[in-house]
Structure 1
């Protein structure tokens, strides 16, 4: 059984080796709290790297979400029906891993306390913004084009898309079973790839902090939206209610699939809720991976 990690955007600061180690460190931290005694070295884990392709295309990801907000975000409130139109799946497995935001030692620091309050306020405002934008796909697409070059390039440039796909396909084996764990933009890439190349065997598909629920993303997916044809196991989707880049579970049309996607809200790190670190070391995520290995 091969475990394939698919990373998201904004990874140009890493190379293939350093990003792989970053993910493995988070995964190892989660394994330490698992009741199953599994050595990391015993697992066949691969992480295809495509973060260098932006430089090849002479593009740079100029994401600066601060410019999307007014100077003061403490009083940014959108209409009630926009703030509360998502369904939150209960967190069945509370986070017990030692994340920086939950370390008691940090609670004694006033500076740290203020930093967390600032992060929570920022993420709350960002989340309300993306909830609003989801009602206006054209405006959403304009902002993606301006601030999320990597996402827009993948969705709109067939050549770039195929280059990314080829990087990932080189790690897949047509005669082996795979568990795919995809974060952020990586979940969009994996969804498209699995529909274009149906000859691989997928035991379990796990999406972390996925933006697939956004209409602007759905408009550019392989249609009709459906379960990947070679997925013969479960599709787990983990999201954080504090993660403004996900905002919604994958349970409403067009993702009300049969069998249904298993959505679960989890608690990630408060100061960076979209980070792979908070997702990948969460006990529920670890369990979903290890269960598929049995």
Structure 2
């Protein structure tokens, strides 16, 4: 979500850079070039539907709340396009040598996460209000959950990269985990070695009400369903361990730590050593 300003190639490269950083830190005898990686992109479909998201996922504040001078917005965009700085994990150890300003910024980010986490817990108890907020601010999520035409368009993009004659490891993040679940549910012929979900909102009732029912373990998952959630991530800080996710075999839930100031972004998940290890584990056994 919120990736429609990327191209398919630039977003794929962003994910690969993060994953490569995790591989390098783990010193694995494996290169990205050794893997066959498909990266289905559907961000442009939102623009085709003449819609755009209205909220910043790091703050849960409307994007139009602050009005910066246009030249500053342009400079920030150009800096993003021409540089790819990916911070390293872990972030949680606060060094005594950090300047007081950086310590305050980190503590402020942690406090914000705690407040927003309580807010999302409250919303989960009121699914109708939760749905209204999603409709108002997270238009891409609402389109996918409520518009069958948009859902089919997204699924068709993904199915072009999945062959029923090959085994796949599916790695999905955020709204992508909901999409992947729905797609695997509808296509039991696919052979999924492992299904790895990162920062999944499937724990929320408003999402559960919209996915395929009954909620079951998709038949195409031949190996493990491994779910990573972060206690820093106010949007998805819950495991998939309670009903309706009490499957057999069970979902393997792992709690990790991401970034306090960017808790839900892919940079905190895809380079985490536990995530990297689970993704490449089948290749190390060969």
Preserved CA contact (<8 Å) 2:94 2:103: no
Deviation per CA, 1:2-24: give whole Å up to 9, x if none: xxxxxxx1112211011001100
1:182 maps to 2:164: no
Structure 1: where are the runs of 5+ without partners? 1-8, 68-96
| 1:71-220 correspondence to structure 2 within 5 Å | 98-99=88-89, 101=91, 108-220=98-210
- Conserved? CA contact 1:251–1:263, under 8 Å: yes
Aligned to 2:18: 26
State the Cα deviation string for residues 21-54 of structure 1 (Å, max 9, x = none): 1100110011012253101111111111111111
SS in 1 for 2:203: coil
> Which of the numbers 215, 227, 230 marks the counterpart of 2:220?
230
Shift of 1:100: 7.5
Query: Separation in 2 of the partners of 1:168 and 1:115?
Result: 39
Alpha-carbon distance in structure 2 between the residues aligned to 1:106 and 1:19: 36
1:11 aligns with 2:6: no
Q: For the residues of structure 2 that align with 1:182 and 1:252, how far apart are their CA atoms? A: 20
- 2:221 alignment partner, SS class: coil
Distance 1:107 1:284 in 2: 28
Aligned length, in residue pairs: 257
- Contact 2:89 2:272 survives alignment (8 Å): no
Deviation at 1:105, TM superposition (A): 8.2
Q: Contact 2:229/2:254 (CA < 8 Å) preserved in 1?
A: yes
Shift in Å, 1:247 = 2.2
Q: What is the alpha-carbon root mean square deviation over aligned residues?
A: 1.8
Aligned to 2:47: 55
The more displaced of 204-213 and 100-109 is: 100-109
- 1:63 CA drift (Å): 1.1
Q: Is the 8 A contact 1:106 1:112 kept in 2?
A: no
Which of 20, 37, 41 is the aligned partner of 1:45? Answer: 37
Instruction: Give TM-score scaled by structure 1 length.
Output: 0.83
Contact 1:179–1:204 (Cα < 8 Å) also in 2 = yes
Paired with 2:173 and 2:55, the residues of 1 have a C-alpha distance of: 17
**Does 2:257 match 1:267?**
yes
| C-alpha spacing 1:112/1:136, structure 2 compared with 1 (3 Å) | same
Say which SS state the counterpart of residue 169 (structure 2) adopts.
Answer: strand
Q: How many Å apart are 1:109 and its aligned residue?
A: 3.0
Cα-to-partner distance string for 1:233-262 (whole Å, 9 max, x where unaligned): 000000001101102100000001100000
The question of whether the paired residues in 2 share the 8 Å contact of 1:130 and 1:247 is answered with no
Q: Contact (CA 8 Å) 2:198, 2:228: kept in 1 or not?
A: yes
Cα drift, residue 265 of structure 1: 0.3
Q: Which structure would you say has the larger RCO, counting Cα contacts within 8 Å and 6 or more residues apart?
A: 1
Name the TM-score, length of structure 2 as normaliser. 0.86
| Distance across 1 between alignment mates of 2:162 and 2:101 | 46
Unaligned 5+ residue runs, structure 2? 63-86
Decide whether aligned partners of structure 1 residues 100 and 196 sit closer, same or farther in structure 2, where only a CA change above 3 A counts. Answer: same
